[in-house]
């Protein structure tokens, strides 16, 4: 039972929350186990999410988005992730890492060509920063983009690209003047049909198995110079600014997974009996549930605060890096801990593939890793708070 004190949620917020909840529980929850098992990409339900406006929630309607705010986005993403974290990962990358960057840094022509089909859900977008030797230390990429006339020639190997195996369009970051370090990185919009672009090995993963992840190979891949996003050398800052938005999405995904694990645990604690009583009557289980619930609500507070900061930044241009990193750090670690307790409360059942808590446990782990590990979030927060480096 919780009080209805979230009166900052408007009717529009509640509407999208309910629509996402109904869709997630009716269409996604019943297929989540099957897709986790097969590792197939859930194209049909992702397309349906596009039709419902979930793939470009904050994109204005003139660019075929839903034209809603960041609170609407996190409410919907939480509901989708509660049914299946893989759908949540695909939705988060499409909305935050792809659409947001073009909306904020793209030209009108780029928005017409690269934003509209992705925000409408007709096509799928991806974001490619990481390389085999450049993960947390994102400024040390070995790929190269060289200007040749009115084209850039892209070469290199990118890795860990969410939706890489299926994306139609990608935002790709590569150094144009490597001698300038992070100030020599540029951002590009790439059509996956361009000659010289190849999809590499698909990663076999512990969790979010239905969200396809792969390497990408660029071999003399020529793209129009007009596809550069922002100015030459601005790519690293674009990558970081976009990750601020992405991290709020991952925090909302973590919240959804944790809620699913928590609700399963409450149900089980009320049903399962041991030593002559419901296991929820034992203080050892009750205290776990109390901590899980408290931490879930604390995460929700940080996530909504970050969402409000992002909405505010659209007017002021102020960065919301601190709010986004705190939300992601707390929500992802909370999610892992809640999923861990959920497995323990379920005992043997929690370890069985016949019960979804085993999937929640595997899915939870990635939230502490992608879009900046917990260690990177702590580094970002500490640097911003102390001003020290």
- For position 237 contacting ligand CAA by CB under 6 A, the verdict is yes
Phi and psi at residue 331, to the nearest 5°: -65, -40
- Cβ 233 vs Cβ 177: under 8 Å: yes
Q: Which residue has the tokens 């909370």?
A: 334
Query: Is residue 372 a contact point for ligand CAA (CB under 6 A)?
Result: yes
Q: How far apart, in whole angstroms, are the C-alpha atoms of residue 98 and residue 100?
A: 6
> With CB under 6 A as the contact rule, which of the stretches 25-33, 51-59, 221-229, 373-381 interacts with ligand CAA?
373-381
Q: How many CB atoms lie within 10 A of CB 364?
A: 28
Of the candidates 57, 93, 260, 289, which one interacts with ligand CAA according to CB under 6 A?
93
Q: Rule CB under 6 A: is residue 243 a binding residue for ligand CAA?
A: yes
380 touching ligand CAA, by CB under 6 A? yes
53 binds ligand CAA (CB under 6 A): no
Beta bridge partners of 189: 171
Ramachandran area for residue 127 (φ above 0: left; ψ -120 to 50: alpha; else beta): beta
CA dihedral 50, 54, 58, 61 (to 10 degrees): 40
- Site for ligand CAA (CB under 6 A): which residue of 236, 268, 360, 361? 236
Closer of 119 and 238 to ligand CAA (Cβ):
238
Tokens coding 118: 């992705």
Nearer to ligand CAA (CB atom), residue 17 or residue 162: 162
The whole-angstrom separation of Cα 295 and Cα 316 is: 31
- Report how far residue 186's alpha carbon sits from residue 216's, in angstroms, rounded to the nearest whole number: 17
Length of the chain measured in residues: 389
Least distance to ligand CAA from the beta carbon of 335, Å? 16
Q: Which of 166, 240, 308, 322 binds ligand CAA (CB under 6 A)?
A: 240
Compute the least distance from the CB of residue 284 to ligand CAA, in Å.
37
Contacts of 136 (CB under 8 A, 6+ apart): 372, 373, 375, 376
Stretch of residues binding ligand CAA (CB under 6 A), selected from 68-76, 113-121, 238-246, 283-291: 238-246
Taking the C-alpha atoms of residue 33 and residue 8, their distance in angstroms, rounded to an integer, is 35
Q: Which is nearer to ligand CAA, 278 or 319 (CB)?
A: 319
Candidates 223-231, 262-270, 353-361, 371-379 — which segment interacts with ligand CAA by CB under 6 A?
371-379
The residue within the footprint of ligand CAA, chosen from 55, 77, 129, 299 (CB under 6 A), is 129
Three-point CA angle 27, 33, 36, nearest 5°: 110
**Cβ neighbours for 109, distance < 8 A, ≥ 6 positions apart:** 226
| Residue whose pair of structure tokens reads 């909405």 in the numeric block | 311
Q: Of the listed 219, 371, 375, 385, which one is catalytic? A: 371
Q: Which is nearer to ligand CAA, 295 or 321 (CB)?
A: 321
The reply to whether 41 sits near ligand CAA by the rule CB under 6 A is no
- Which of 47, 272, 319, 365 lies at the binding interface for ligand CAA (CB under 6 A)? 319
Cα–Cα distances (Å) from 104 to 37, 120, 145, 206, 256, in that order, read 37, 17, 22, 34, 27
Q: Could you confirm whether 371 is annotated as catalytic?
A: yes
Check residue 127 for interaction with ligand CAA (CB under 6 A): yes
Contact pick of 183, 272, 278, 362 for ligand CAA (by CB under 6 A)? 183
Tell me whether residue 244 or residue 358 sits nearer to ligand CAA (CB atom): 244
Residues identified as active-site: 371
Interface with ligand CAA (CB under 6 A): 93, 127, 129-130, 136, 138-139, 160-162, 182-183, 236-237, 240-241, 243-244, 319, 321, 370-372, 376, 379-380
């Amino acid at each position: 039972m919780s009080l209805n004190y979230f009166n900052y949620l408007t009717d529009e917020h509640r509407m999208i929350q309910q629509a996402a909840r109904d869709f997630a529980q009716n269409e996604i929850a019943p297929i989540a186990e099957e897709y986790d098992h097969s590792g197939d990409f859930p194209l049909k339900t992702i397309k349906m999410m596009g039709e419902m406006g979930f793939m470009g929630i904050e994109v204005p309607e003139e660019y075929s988005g839903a034209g809603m705010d960041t609170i609407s986005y996190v409410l919907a993403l939480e509901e989708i992730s509660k049914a299946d974290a893989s759908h949540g990962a695909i939705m988060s990358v499409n909305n935050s890492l792809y659409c947001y960057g073009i909306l904020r840094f793209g030209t009108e022509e780029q928005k017409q060509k690269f934003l509209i089909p992705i925000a409408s859900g007709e096509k799928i977008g991806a974001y490619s920063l990481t390389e085999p030797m450049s993960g947390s230390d994102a400024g040390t990429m070995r790929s190269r983009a060289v200007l040749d006339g009115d084209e850039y020639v892209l070469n290199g190997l990118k890795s860990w690209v969410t939706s890489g195996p299926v994306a139609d369009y990608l935002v790709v970051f590569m150094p144009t003047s490597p001698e300038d370090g992070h100030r020599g990185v540029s951002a590009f919009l790439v059509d996956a049909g361009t000659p010289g672009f190849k999809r590499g090995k698909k990663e076999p993963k512990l969790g979010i198995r239905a969200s396809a992840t792969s390497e990408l190979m660029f071999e003399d891949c020529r793209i129009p110079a007009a596809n550069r996003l922002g100015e030459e050398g601005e790519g690293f800052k674009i990558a970081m600014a976009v990750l601020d938005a992405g991290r709020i999405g991952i925090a909302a995904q973590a919240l959804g997974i944790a809620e699913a694990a928590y609700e399963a645990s409450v149900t089980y604690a009320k049903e399962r009996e041991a030593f002559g009583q419901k296991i929820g009557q034992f203080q050892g289980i009750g205290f776990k549930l109390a901590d899980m619930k408290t931490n879930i609500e604390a995460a929700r507070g940080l996530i909504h605060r970050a969402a409000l900061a992002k909405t505010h930044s659209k007017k002021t241009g102020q960065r919301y890096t601190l709010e986004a990193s705190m939300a992601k750090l707390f929500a992802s670690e909370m999610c892992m801990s809640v999923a861990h307790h959920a497995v323990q409360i379920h005992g043997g059942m929690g370890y069985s593939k016949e019960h979804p808590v085993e999937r929640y446990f595997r899915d939870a782990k990635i939230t502490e890793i992608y879009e900046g590990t917990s260690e990177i979030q702590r580094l970002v927060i500490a640097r911003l708070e102390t001003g020290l480096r």
